[in-house]
Structure 1
Amino acid sequence: MAGGNAIRGSRVGAGPMGEAERGEAAPRVFVSYWCSNGHQTRPSFAQEAGSAVPETWDCPRCGLPAGQDRDNPPAPPKVEPYKTHLAYVKERRSGADGQAILDEALAALRERGLIT
């Protein structure tokens, strides 16, 4: 005797897949984007989006930004190297400023008798 469960052996979402089940798909428009490595990407957008299509898109192959102009793709972003605290201090202060601060600190230590 069979069990009384009509959906036995099936999963949620299982069944015939087709337009009748999901409804009509929105009309799509394909937009081409090119990165500076020459890769082309063609994501699709709903036709209704029209003006909401982004000017740039990340290339799925190399990760660089891609634009809609094939001859003038966006430039790769500039990656600045890691700077130490000392590098930032050297940008803000000149050598003369640093020497004056050092002399002041040494004078304070001499007054306290910590160095001679």
Structure 2
Amino acid sequence: MSSAAIDQRERRVFIGSHSGVLIALSLDAGQLLWSVQTSGRLMSSPILVIMAFHEQCTKRLTVIIGSFDQAFYVICAQNGRILLRRSLNSGYISNQVAFDSNSSFYVSTNSGQLIKLS
């Protein structure tokens, strides 16, 4: 299981599992808000990033997580919809995805590559 990412404003926590499921729980009641299945184990820790407007994610907060299926996912924190799945075709992502102010993502793979995605 991955480390948790916490959204204090909306009182939610996001956790990835070895079975490839990302879940969102209420911090107050522990109630399952949503879950989404990915194609690989989620070992990296999710990060929360405010993105540009997307019609399927009106509050703009997204959860970004890397997977053992050689991809990273951008998922709407509000409803669990997968907004983007980006395949790397090179190893699997086992570390946290990094994000910078220029809207670029950085991921490292088990094969030792550091990949920048814009």
TM-score, reference length from structure 1 = 0.22
> Which structure shows the bigger proportion of residues in strand conformation?
2
Instruction: Answer with 1 or 2: which has the greater Rg.
Output: 1
TM-score, reference length from structure 2 = 0.22
